[in-house]
């Protein structure tokens, strides 16, 4: 339906002309919009006789335009969401400036080129090794091969604070090793305090990389090989062997001392105990004899003859008990020999045996 009808009358497309309410012609409106869009991109009508061709060209361009819009919408939809893995962190830049760090999970951000996301694996343990030559505190040349393991604790600092964080880590490791080893003697580095040196170098290296803001966490540092120049290697090997022999002999001496000293102390304690016992027994026996003598003096004063005779008999008894005795008959013509001590000993032995048998039978 046209806006200007024959006869010079003008109709309102929204139904306000001629005093009658009529709905607008939607097909004609869509056709006009297509033609205008096509004319903007060089696909408008070329003449009244080419209306069909122009319509078909506008329709094809409209389909392409719609597909482009749909593709752009799908791209924006997928570009505004990121699934961050559990091992990763996402660093978001907005127009080149840091905005935030994305934690694991489904995260939203603005599409490119507004926001750009950089993924960083923060759980991967990375390794690096290096070899350095240096002088020790006693001015000896030494070669050290060391290896280190590290991971990333600050993704933003790792990406943007330092141009080459791994190179900075390598330089910090070399500086820490030189500083720590340079304050030790050659003997300490080779066989003395290698574990202590490693821990001190690790702490110093972590301090350096933190000051550089590299975002790196140093997990371990190991000295894989510590050696001297080949020209003096034989001499150092001899020195190390002599030191090991010294250590071995010292250990053997300590083991011998730990075995002999307790035995000597035990014998000394036993001798002291025996001496103490002998002392106590001697003192007690002396006191007893002194008391007996005092009693004997009192008895002697009371009856001197009786006491004197009793002492003589006691003395003879003590002497005869300790000496062998023989009974001889001098009056008879033949000599008789009777070993009384042997007979008495046999008699006492028989009595003891009879007593033991009686006890066993009683049981």
- Is the confidence at residue 209, as pLDDT, over 90? yes
Q: Could you tell me which residue, 73 or 21, shows the higher pLDDT?
A: 73
pTM given for the model: 0.48
What per-residue string of b and e applies to 37-59 under the rule 16 or more CB within 10 Å gives b? ebeeeebebeeeeeeeebeebbe
What string of H, E and C letters represents the secondary structure of the chain? CCCECCCCCECCCCCCHHHCCCCCCHHHHHHHHHHHHHHHCCCCCCCHHHHHHHHHHHHHHHHHHHHHHHHHHHHHHHHCEEEECCCEEEEEEECCEEEEEECCEEEECCCCCCEEEEEEECCCCEEEEEEEEEECCCCCEEEEEEEEEEEECCHHHHHHCCCCHHHHHHHHHHHHHHHHHCCCCHHHHHHHCHHHHHHHHHHHHHHHHHHHCCCEEEEEEEEEEEECCHHHHHHHHHHHHHHHHHHHHHHHHHHHHHHHHHHHHHHHHHHHHHHHHHHHHHHHHHHHHHHHHHHHHHHHHHCHHHHHHHHHHHHHHHHHHHCCCEECCCCCCCCCCEEHHHHHHHHHHHHHHHHHHHHHHHC
pLDDT tier for residue 357 given thresholds of 50, 70 and 90: low
pLDDT of 230 reads 74
Span 246-270, average pLDDT? 91
Span 117-128, average pLDDT? 89
CA 142 to CA 145: how far, in whole Å? 10
Span 264-269, average pLDDT? 92
Long-range contacts of 199-208 (CB under 8 A, 24+ apart): 201/173, 201/176, 201/177, 202/176, 204/176, 204/179, 204/180, 205/148, 205/169, 205/172, 205/173, 205/175, 205/176, 205/177, 208/172, 208/175, 208/176
pLDDT of 44 reads 46
Span 184-204, average pLDDT? 85
32-46, 88-102, 322-336 — which is least confidently predicted?
Answer: 32-46
In the chain, domain spans: 17-77, 81-121, 126-228, 325-358
- Is the confidence at residue 335, as pLDDT, over 60? no
pLDDT of 67 reads 74
pLDDT tier for residue 116 given thresholds of 50, 70 and 90: confident
pLDDT tier for residue 219 given thresholds of 50, 70 and 90: very high
Burial of 3 from C-beta contacts in 10 A (0-12 / 13-18 / 19+): exposed
pLDDT of 207 reads 93
Q: Could you tell me which residue, 71 or 269, shows the higher pLDDT?
A: 269
- Is the confidence at residue 349, as pLDDT, over 70? yes
CA 352 to CA 64: how far, in whole Å? 136
Is CATH 3.90.1150.10 correct for 126-228?
A: no
pLDDT per residue as tens digits for the range 273-328: 999 999 999 999 999 989 988 888 888 888 888 888 888 888 888 887 777 666 56
pLDDT per residue as tens digits for the range 230-239: 777 777 777 7
Average pLDDT, the chain: 78
- Is the confidence at residue 39, as pLDDT, over 50? yes
pLDDT tier for residue 331 given thresholds of 50, 70 and 90: low
pLDDT of 2 reads 46
pLDDT of 272 reads 94
Query: What would the two tokens of residue 67 be?
Result: 């597909």
Q: Could you tell me which residue, 241 or 173, shows the higher pLDDT?
A: 173
pLDDT of 114 reads 83
Q: Could you tell me which residue, 190 or 333, shows the higher pLDDT?
A: 190
CA 68 to CA 126: how far, in whole Å? 44
pLDDT of 18 reads 45
Span 111-117, average pLDDT? 81
Cβ pair 217, 120 in contact under 8 A: no
């Amino acid at each position: 339906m046209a806006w200007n009808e024959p006869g010079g009358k003008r109709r309102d497309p929204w139904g306000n002309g001629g005093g009658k309410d009529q709905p607008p012609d939607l097909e004609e409106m869509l056709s006009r919009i297509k033609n205008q869009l096509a004319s903007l991109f060089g696909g408008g009508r070329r003449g009244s006789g080419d209306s069909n061709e122009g319509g078909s060209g506008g329709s094809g361009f409209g389909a392409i335009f719609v597909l482009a819009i749909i593709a752009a919408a799908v791209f924006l939809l997928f570009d505004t969401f990121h699934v961050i893995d559990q091992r990763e962190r996402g660093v978001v830049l907005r127009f080149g400036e840091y905005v935030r760090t994305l934690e694991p999970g489904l995260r939203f951000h603005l599409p490119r080129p507004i926001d750009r996301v950089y993924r960083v694996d923060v759980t991967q343990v990375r390794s690096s090794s290096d070899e350095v030559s240096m002088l020790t505190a006693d001015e000896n040349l030494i070669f050290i091969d060391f290896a280190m393991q590290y991971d990333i604790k600050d993704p933003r600092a790792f990406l943007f604070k330092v141009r080459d964080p791994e190179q900075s880590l390598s330089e910090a490791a070399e500086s820490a090793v030189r500083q720590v080893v340079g304050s030790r003697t050659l003997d300490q580095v080779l066989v003395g305090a290698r574990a202590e040196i490693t821990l001190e170098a690790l702490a110093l290296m972590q301090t350096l990389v933190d000051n550089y803001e590299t975002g790196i966490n140093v997990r371990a540092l190991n000295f894989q090989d510590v050696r001297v120049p080949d020209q003096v290697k034989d001499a150092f090997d001899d020195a190390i062997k002599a030191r090991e022999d010294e250590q071995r002999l010292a250990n053997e001496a300590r083991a011998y001392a730990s075995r002999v000293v307790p035995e000597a102390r035990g014998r000394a304690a036993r001798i002291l105990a025996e001496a103490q016992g002998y002392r106590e027994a001697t003192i007690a026996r002396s006191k007893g004899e002194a008391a007996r003598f005092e009693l004997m003096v009192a008895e002697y004063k009371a009856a001197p003859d009786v006491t004197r005779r009793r002492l003589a008999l006691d003395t003879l008894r003590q002497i005869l008990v300790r000496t062998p005795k023989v009974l001889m008959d001098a009056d008879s013509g033949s000599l008789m020999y009777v070993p009384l001590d042997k007979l008495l000993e046999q008699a006492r032995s028989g009595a003891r045996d009879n007593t033991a048998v009686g006890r066993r039978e009683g049981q």
